[in-house]
Structure 1
């Protein structure tokens, strides 16, 4: 059976689709995920930070604007999943954080360090620039992808992108 494309489904319903759907940590490949997930909501219920929500078609997805706005990598969602849609055999993060310099206030000369203040791994460093202001630099080598920096950003300059 072919997996439903949520973007196409939304378009056919007359809605502009969210361009990116981020599945919970340890999600299997998208086609396998939509085939095996029963949409029971158990992973949504056990998420301690409340960032796993029921998305398009009732499938769970990550919304960093909800709850505490970050993933603790606690494995509760995997333990709760009896459908094998989430598996510890997979990589935990199926997303990578990116910084859009054009949307960032600091890159426009405005003093803002919101993202760095919330980053638990200190993967966002502020480097001095000519003119005296500091701009963020995201070190993807130490970023754990938790998403804690996304929600506090006033201009949505940080986002998670699906990888793989």
Structure 2
């Protein structure tokens, strides 16, 4: 796992920081922090109500509250340039060991919610099932995370450069 420290985090004594899920079209972390004023126009424009503020008073997406429909209303509301339509949404779902199916409880809620059919389950011994996320099909919308009763779905930022992957970001 690669973790980076922003200037803001470094000055607060946080020498490594996980990448947080910013709204659709968010610039790279340092550029976003410079451009975003914290006005929260993006949150007010979000029809799904999934954009909240973080400890830095900047917008983050909390997919536990619901799924992103990629409508672009947050992009259109941003007047600072912190959100750019040309920036891809490179988040993919991953499932943790807290998954009910991995622990012998029959649950396929995440699979039922995935319109892209990116989630499948492989049967295992002992009444368990292994959740498998197809990264080619997963759009990172969060429908699976919002529905998961165990909170076992996290997201990984898929940087186009493989050496800069960020693992296990919670939906918030």
Partner of 1:31, secondary structure, is helix
Query: Which deviations, in whole Å up to 9, do the C-alpha atoms of 1:125-153 show, x marking residues without a partner?
Result: 12233455543211111011101101221
Does the CA-based 8 Å contact 2:118-2:138 persist in structure 1?
A: yes
Unaligned runs of 5+ in 1: 12-17
1:129 correspondence with 2:151: no
RMSD of equivalent CA atoms: 2.2
Q: Distance in 2 between matches of 1:3 and 1:70?
A: 31
Aligned counterpart in structure 1 of residue 87 of structure 2, from 83, 86, 90:
90
Aligned to 2:36: 37
1:47 correspondence with 2:46: yes
Unaligned runs of 5+ in 2: 1-5, 160-172
Q: Distance in 2 between matches of 1:58 and 1:162?
A: 21
Does the CA-based 8 Å contact 1:27-1:94 persist in structure 2?
A: no
Aligned to 1:153: 148
- Structure-1-length-normalised TM-score: 0.82
Q: Distance in 2 between matches of 1:103 and 1:49?
A: 26
Query: Which deviations, in whole Å up to 9, do the C-alpha atoms of 1:102-160 show, x marking residues without a partner?
Result: 21111122101111111121111122334555432111110111011012212222101
5 Å matches for 1:1-164?
3-5=7-9, 9=12, 20-66=19-65, 69-91=66-88, 93-100=89-96, 102-131=97-126, 133-164=128-159
